Amino acid sequence: MTGRIAFQGELGAYSHQACREARPDMDALACRTFEDAIEAVRTGEAELAMLPVENSTYGRVADIHSLLPQSGLHILDEAFVRVHINLLALPGTQISQVKQAMSHTVLLGQCRNFLSEHNISRITGADTAGSAKDVAKMGDASVAALASELAGEIYGLEVLARHIEDQGNNTTRFLIMSREANLEPRGSHGMMTSFVFQVRNIPAALYKAMGGFATNGINMTKLESYMVGGSFTATQFYSDIEGHPEDPAVKRALDELGYFTDMLEILGTYPRDPRRD
């Protein structure tokens, strides 16, 4: 066991925060890309990977769903992080001194009201934690960063304003991935199963494939499609359902799904997080 959990981004990123909250006993390993985080687990450099899959405001994280089937990893758990945005600046800085704020373009768009109220212009950075790192290096009191409080702690910045996001429910969902699958123990709040599939080229194939979940009373919480192989005719689907493949109703639904698909791959079965509610 390495005791490491890999994530994409700089130290202080929201993915790093997710690692701290979900696996506080593990050391976080910063990686340049999602592929690097996955590879760190495959090679044994890290034990787990923390990968964001969707955000309540902006939808799914680009590329993740296409990476998961080829990753060779299994979903062990899910984690939810409330994305609080904070204005971070050099120690001793007053808000009145701040003229510009740097962050990832997504975060800049999530706190327009605060920035407008304080007449602060926006600077697009590579990412949130990276912006905090850059602000600390610049040493300019007129430039602040928009990032997590964790980023402020790491790069020696002071929190001038907390939780300045326009929407009060912005949350990112993460998947915790491992080389080995773990079907037990079952969660006290139920189980989730994630899988990808590609339907056969027959009329109404998707409608027929989904029928088994309806007739067996299985709650499907997510169904998304995306193109594969650059083809307009090959569509792959990603889905989350409530339940365990060994549950009789889930087994019947998956068996029926398999009849109408060319490919079906279970990505993982893991405890349902109560924060879904």
Residue 5, pLDDT score:
98
199 and 149 co-located in one domain = no
pLDDT(174) > 90: yes
Q: Is residue 184 part of a domain?
A: no
Distance from the first to the final alpha carbon of the chain: 33
Catalytic site residue 174? yes
Residue 184, pLDDT score:
64
Residue 230, pLDDT score:
64
Q: Read off the pLDDT of residues 132-149 as tens digits, 9 standing for 90 and up.
A: 999 999 999 999 999 999
Catalytic site residue 235? no
pLDDT(242) > 80: yes
Q: Read off the pLDDT of residues 88-105 as tens digits, 9 standing for 90 and up.
A: 999 999 999 999 999 998
96 and 225 co-located in one domain = no
Average pLDDT over residues 51-79: 87
**Calpha distance 127→172 (Å, rounded):** 15
Residue 187, pLDDT score:
66
11 and 119 co-located in one domain = no
Catalytic residue among 93, 128, 172, 261: 172
271 and 198 co-located in one domain = yes
Q: Residue 178: how many CB atoms within 10 A of its CB?
A: 18
Q: Is residue 186 part of a domain?
A: no
Residues 6+ apart with CB under 8 A from 260: 199, 200, 202, 205, 208, 209
Catalytic residue among 174, 197, 213, 260: 174
pLDDT(233) > 80: no
23 and 151 co-located in one domain = no
Q: Read off the pLDDT of residues 183-223 as tens digits, 9 standing for 90 and up.
A: 666 767 889 999 999 988 788 888 888 999 999 999 999 99
Q: Is residue 261 part of a domain?
A: yes
Average pLDDT value over all residues in the chain: 92
Residue 227, pLDDT score:
75
Question: What pTM did the predictor assign?
Answer: 0.90
* DSSP designation for 202: S
The CATH number assigned to the domain holding 225 equals 3.30.70.260
